[in-house]
C-alpha cells in the first residue's frame, strides 16, 4: 500500500531544531515527520543543563565565541561561531515569546547557571534541570496552534528520492505496518537528531539512530567531522539503557569527582579540575573505571539539602535507584552524548544537495569543532532551525516536475535485528569510543562488514546504524592525531598540520 502527500516543505524530525524550523516557515504549508508521538523520542526533552546565551550584564557574544572556539580544539569555523553567539539572545527572546518559563532570580531576571569551560554564567535554564522539557512543551503548544503545520506521527523516513541529481521527495513508512508514504516538498529539512544509539552506553533516547545522516549519505550528500563523538562525563551508572544524565550544572555548582579510594583525581589532570573540557573529564573517569575504580559525583558539601529543589530531575532519577544525592555520592560513568559530525551545511543550513537543508545535531555546521561547548547544542538547534527557515523562504526552489518514484523500500520489523544492534553497540563503545587506535578501529570496521553480510536486508534502524558506524570509524581511522573528543593512543599528540575539519561521502567509506 502506498500513498502520497505534498507540502511546501517537509521537515524530518520533531525535536527543537525541526519544530523551530517548522514554526519559522509560516505561512508555508509544512509537513513534520515524527518517528514517534509528538513530544516523545526527541533528545530535546531529555536536555537538562540549558541554553548558552550571552544575556548577562557581564557577558557578550564575543566572550561566548571565545569559549566556544576554545572548546572546539582549533577547528571550529569562526564565522559560524560568531553567527551562533550573536544570534543567541534573539532565540532566547523567541522562546520567551512562545511562553517558555525559564528560571528567574529574586529580582525577576533570568537565573543564569555556569557550566564547564564557560568564563561567565550564561546558561539559561528551566525547572533547575528540566530545560529541554520546558522548551519542547512550548514549541509543541505553538505547533498545535499553527494551522500551517501538520505532524505525521509514528512515521519513519527511509530514504531521500533523488532523480538525476535532483531531490524529489522522501520515502517513509508508517511504523509497524506495510504502508508506505511518498512525501513531496519543494524544500526538505533533515532535523533527525543524533547517533547515540550506536553506542552501548548513551544518554540519548532509543530513537537516536542517525537516520537523517544515513539517508543523506546514501543520497551522496557531503558529510563532515564524523569522527567527533562527545561522551558526557557524568551519566548516572545505575544499569539503565539509556543512561540518565547528571547535568554538568551539578559540577558547575561545586560537586566534585571522587573515586572509591577517596581521591579527587581531577585535581592532578586539569587546572579547572571537574570543570575542565568534557573530553578531558570523560577520559579521566573512563581511565579510573578501566583500572577497576568506582567513580562518584559528590554534591554533599556543595549542594546538599538543596539538591531536590536545585536539580529535581537528577534527584528523582537518583532516588528511584535508591541513591540520595544529599548524603551519598552519585555513581557516574561516561556515555555517548552528542555527535559533532553530520550532514555538512553552510551558514544557512544548506547541504551539498540542492533542495535539502539540515539543522540540529544531524547537521555539521562547524561551530563545535572537535568538542562541543556545554549547552551550545540546544542553542545551535534554535539558531539553525530559524536560519534554515529564513533561507528556504528566500530561495524556495521552483515546483519540480512529476517523476516516477521507485518502489519504496519497506523495512522489516526491527526485532529481527536486535542482536545485531547489540553487537554493533558493543564494538562501537569498545573500539570507536573514548579511546581509539588503529587495531580497534579496523576490528570495528571488520565487524560492521560481517553484520552487513549477515543482514543483507536489515530493518531501518540497523541499516542506518551500520552506515553511520562505518562513517565514524573510517573518519576516526583517517585522523591520525588526538584532538578534542577524538583520542588515539597510537597518535596521542595533536598535529597542527591537521587543524582542519574533515569532509567525506559514503562512497569514500566503503
The predicted-structure confidence for 136-155, as pLDDT tens digits, reads as follows: 999 999 999 999 999 999 99
pTM value? 0.93
Quote the cell numbers at residue 241: 539503557
Among the candidates 370, 390, 412, a domain finishes at 412
In a domain, 449, yes or no: no
pLDDT of residue 412: 47
CATH number at residue 301: 3.90.700.10
344 preceded by a cis bond (ω within 30 of 0)? no
The pLDDT of residue 300 is above 60: yes
Among the candidates 335, 351, 382, a domain finishes at 335
How far apart CA 195 and CA 304 sit, in angstroms, is 35
132 compared with 487, residue with greater pLDDT: 487
Q: Which of 304, 297, 298 is nearest to 326 (CA)?
A: 304
- Verify that 54 and 161 share a domain, yes or no: yes
The predicted-structure confidence for 461-497, as pLDDT tens digits, reads as follows: 999 999 999 999 999 999 999 999 999 999 999 999 9
Most distant CA atoms of the chain, gap in Å = 69
- Verify that 200 and 181 share a domain, yes or no: yes
* Sign of torsion over alpha carbons 152, 153, 155, 160: positive
pLDDT of residue 414: 47
The residues carrying an active-site annotation are 278
In a domain, 242, yes or no: yes
- Verify that 359 and 325 share a domain, yes or no: no
C-alpha Rg value of the chain to the nearest Å: 22
The upper half-sphere exposure of residue 43, i.e. CA atoms within 13 Å in the direction of its Cβ, equals: 33
Number of domains forming the structure of the chain: 2
| Residue 403: pLDDT band with limits 50, 70, 90 | low
Q: What DSSP line would sit under 180-204, residue for residue?
A: EEEEEEEEEEE-----GGGSSSBSS
In a domain, 89, yes or no: yes
How far apart CA 388 and CA 185 sit, in angstroms, is 15
Angle between helices 438-454 and 460-478 (to 10 degrees): 160
In a domain, 420, yes or no: no
- Verify that 267 and 329 share a domain, yes or no: yes
- Verify that 163 and 30 share a domain, yes or no: yes
Among the candidates 301, 335, 369, a domain finishes at 335
178 compared with 111, residue with greater pLDDT: 111
- Verify that 255 and 287 share a domain, yes or no: yes
CATH number at residue 68: 3.50.50.60
Average pLDDT over every residue of 84-103: 97
Contact 172, 400 (CB under 8 A): no
Cα–Cα distances in angstroms (integers) from residue 151 to residues 5, 38, 135, 139, 292, in the given order: 12, 8, 18, 13, 48
Residue partners of 146: CB distance under 8 A and separation at least 6: 22, 23, 26
Helix (H) or strand (E) holding 290: helix 278-290
Contact 127, 103 (CB under 8 A): yes
In a domain, 429, yes or no: no
3-class secondary structure per residue, 105-135? CCCCCECEECCCCCCCCCEECCCCCCHHHHH
In a domain, 139, yes or no: yes
Query: DSSP class of residue 265?
Result: G
- Count other C-beta atoms under 10 Å from residue 324's C-beta: 13
In a domain, 505, yes or no: no
- Verify that 202 and 91 share a domain, yes or no: yes
Both ends of the chain: CA-CA distance in Å? 33
| Residue 397: pLDDT band with limits 50, 70, 90 | low
- Verify that 7 and 156 share a domain, yes or no: yes
pLDDT of residue 398: 66
The pLDDT of residue 359 is above 50: yes
How far apart CA 478 and CA 474 sit, in angstroms, is 6
Domain boundaries, position 319: 232-335
In a domain, 103, yes or no: yes
- Verify that 81 and 117 share a domain, yes or no: yes
- Verify that 276 and 209 share a domain, yes or no: no
The pLDDT of residue 409 is above 80: no
- Verify that 258 and 405 share a domain, yes or no: no
The predicted-structure confidence for 185-206, as pLDDT tens digits, reads as follows: 999 999 999 999 999 999 999 9
- Verify that 104 and 14 share a domain, yes or no: yes
Amino acid at each position: 500500500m502506498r500513498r502520497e502527500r505534498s507540502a511546501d516543505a517537509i521537515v524530518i524530525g520533531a525535536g527543537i531544531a525541526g519544530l523551530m524550523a517548522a514554526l519559522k516557515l509560516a505561512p508555508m504549508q509544512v509537513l513534520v515527520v515524527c518517528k514517534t508521538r509528538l513530544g516523545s523520542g526527541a533528545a530535546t526533552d531529555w536536555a537538562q543543563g540549558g541554553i548558552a546565551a550571552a544575556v548577562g550584564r557581564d557577558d557578550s557574544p564575543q566572550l561566548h565565541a571565545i569559549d566556544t572556539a576554545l572548546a572546539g580544539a582549533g577547528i571550529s569555523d569562526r564565522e559560524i561561531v560568531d553567527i551562533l553567539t550573536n544570534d543567541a539572545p534573539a532565540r532566547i527572546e523567541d522562546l520567551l515569546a512562545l511562553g517558555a518559563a525559564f528560571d528567574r532570580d529574586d529580582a525577576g531576571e533570568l537565573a543564569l547557571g555556569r557550566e564547564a569551560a564557560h568564563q561567565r554564567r550564561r546558561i539559561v535554564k528551566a525547572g533547575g534541570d528540566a530545560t529541554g522539557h520546558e522548551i519542547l512543551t512550548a514549541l509543541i503548544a505553538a505547533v498545535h496552534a499553527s494551522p500551517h503545520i501538520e505532524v505525521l506521527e509514528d512515521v519513519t523516513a527511509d530514504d531521500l528520492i533523488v532523480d538525476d541529481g535532483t531531490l524529489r521527495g522522501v520515502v517513509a513508512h508508517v511504523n509497524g505496518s506495510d504502508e508506505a508514504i511518498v512525501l513531496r516538498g519543494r524544500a526538505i529539512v533533515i532535523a533527525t537528531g543524533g547517533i547515540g544509539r550506536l553506542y552501548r552506553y548513551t544518554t540519548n533516547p532509543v530513537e537516536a539512530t542517525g537516520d537523517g545522516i544515513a539517508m543523506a549519505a546514501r543520497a551522496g550528500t557531503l558529510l563532515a567531522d564524523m569522527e567527533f563523538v562527545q561522551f558526557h562525563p557524568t551519566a548516572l551508572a545505575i544499569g539503565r539503557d539509556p543512561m540518565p544524565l547528571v547535568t554538568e550544572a551539578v559540577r558547575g555548582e561545586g560537586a566534585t569527582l571522587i573515586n572509591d579510594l577517596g581521591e579527587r583525581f581531577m585535581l592532578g589532570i586539569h587546572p579547572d579540575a571537574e570543570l575542565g573540557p568534557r573530553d578531558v573529564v570523560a577520559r579521566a573517569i573512563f581511565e579510573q573505571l578501566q583500572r577497576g575504580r568506582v567513580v562518584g559525583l559528590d554534591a554533599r558539601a556543595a549542594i546538599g539539602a538543596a539538591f531536590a529543589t536545585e536539580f529535581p530531575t537528577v534527584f528523582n532519577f537518583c532516588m528511584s535507584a535508591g541513591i540520595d544525592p544529599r548524603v551519598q555520592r552519585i555513581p557516574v560513568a561516561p556515555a555517548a552524548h552528542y555527535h559533532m559530525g553530520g550532514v555538512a551545511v553552510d551558514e544557512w543550513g544548506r547541504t551539498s544537495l540542492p533542495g535539502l537543508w539540515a539543522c540540529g545535531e544531524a547537521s555539521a555546521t562547524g561551530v563545535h569543532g572537535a568538542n562541543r561547548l556545554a549547552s551550545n547544542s540546544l542553542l545551535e538547534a534554535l539558531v539553525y532551525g530559524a536560519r534554515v527557515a529564513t533561507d528556504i523562504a528566500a530561495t524556495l526552489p521552483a515546483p519540480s516536475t512529476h517523476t516516477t518514484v521507485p518502489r519504496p523500500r519497506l523495512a522489516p520489523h526491527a526485532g529481527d535485528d536486535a542482536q545485531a544492534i547489540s553487537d554493533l553497540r558493543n564494538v562501537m563503545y569498545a573500539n570507536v569510543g573514548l579511546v581509539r587506535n588503529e587495531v580497534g578501529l579496523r576490528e570495528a570496521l571488520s565487524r560492521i562488514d560481517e553484520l552487513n553480510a549477515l543482514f543483507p536486508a536489515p530493518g531501518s534502524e540497523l541499516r542506518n546504524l551500520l552506515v553511520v558506524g562505518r562513517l565514524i570509524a573510517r573518519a576516526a581511522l583517517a585522523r591520525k592525531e588526538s584532538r578534542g573528543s577524538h583520542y588515539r593512543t597510537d597518535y596521542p599528540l595533536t598535529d597542527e598540520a591537521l587543524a582542519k575539519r574533515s569532509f567525506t561521502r559514503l562512497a569514500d567509506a566503503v
